[in-house]
Amino acid sequence: MGERHHASGLEAAAPDSATSSIVEPPLDLPALTLEETRIGLHLEGVTTRVEALGARRTWLPGEHLCREGVCERSLHVLLNGRLAFPGGEFGPGAHTGEIGFLLGSPRTANVIAVGDCETLTIPFDALSRDPYAATLLLLGLARELPSRVRKFGLPKQAPENACDADHPAIVALAASLRGSSDTETARAIWDLVRRMPYRFGPWWLRASDTLRAGWGMCTTKSNLQVALCRAAGLEAGFAEFMGPSDLLVPLLPRHSRRKLRPKMRHIVAAVRLEGQWHVADSSYPDAVVQEFAKTFPVIGTLLPAQLEVGAPFHPIATVTGLDPFAVEVVEHINDSMARRSSHDVDTLEVMNLLLDRLQGLIVEEPRPLARARALADVAPVEAFGAALGASSLLAHDLFERIQEPA
């Protein structure tokens, strides 16, 4: 976490997905290891070396980890307990103090222990002891910082024509997917969208924006699917279901698993085939379905995935025992796109990291970060300098954003 926590961070999961399922956990969990934290996910193979750069520290209720205006150059990774900042609280797995750590600037806000807390605290001066491990730590921070800079929240209104079936790219793609029957066309569209990587992000996007991004979540993928179906001349719409939040357990770090409410809202596309509505859920690629099967083995029976007349693809019905044809279809999801949601930013970003690994999604790095990563094995001191320069620029971007009027 950055020192001052405005509504900035991950560009938010939709209210119809995991976010509406999250509540605060009880504080009786054992302390995390570094590799279980958000920054630890970037430190594969070097967590022991990074941990050696710092020390575990306990904090009493009311103690300041960061005091506004004070220059103190340490990074704090929260292993247990909760910390308060001007915008709220955060729990195990998060980190705080990265702006002062990277820039050597005064702390921008107070961060205070709510109860007994335990951190791994890494002083900046310790980085020189192990340039290789320090480089990977800086690269991890650099991967986290852009999500802090992006403004976090809803637009003032949902986009007009969110399901833009008339967009030239949508029309052209739909034409290329048209088969010899409505069923063939619906199946080709469903299969193309379903194979797109699944991850959390902004949900107020037009269908053409999701096509451009190349990945999406239930809201955005179903919106793209419906747009393609309509552009291909099929009757299509949206349906909403409540599914078990435990589906997400394989994607959650240990400290976040008690944050789930029993149910999560899930939006899917439906297409009319031979006079009957068929749910054609395109949210989850095979790799994600296989991961969900660790919690609900029955969902694994859906693979290989198929969509046929009389056989909708409806994972929620498979898990819950719902009648797969008991579906109420609506024309648009503007209300969902405009809905305000509660967010646990760190949990969602960790889930994205795990989803990206699971699906092999390659996230492009800025050139300075890619250069530092390439140098790490052969010239660790040079790599450290490159990583520090790149991460410091990103930290400065966050610092400037924090100074903007609310």
Q: What is the C-alpha to C-alpha distance for residues 244 and 105, in angstroms, rounded to an integer?
A: 45
Q: Do the domains 168-338 and 18-153+376-403 match in fold?
A: no
Model confidence pLDDT, tens digit, residues 181-238 = 999 999 999 999 999 999 887 777 899 999 988 899 999 999 999 999 999 999 999 9
Domain boundaries, the chain: 18-153+376-403, 168-338
CATH of span 18-153+376-403: 2.60.120.10
Asked if residue 110 has pLDDT above 60, the reply is yes
pLDDT at 5: 35
Contact present, 203 and 220 (Cβ < 8 Å) = yes
Q: Which two tokens stand for residue 394?
A: 């990103």
Side by side, the strands of the sheet bearing 95-96 are 55-59, 117-123, 74-80, 95-96
Fold of 168-338: C8orf32 fold (3.10.620)
Is pTM beyond 0.85? Reply is no
Range of weakest confidence among 81-90, 165-174, 230-239: 81-90
Q: What residues are paired with 123 via a beta bridge?
A: 74
> Quick one: pLDDT band at residue 155, thresholds 50, 70, 90?
very low
pLDDT at 136: 94
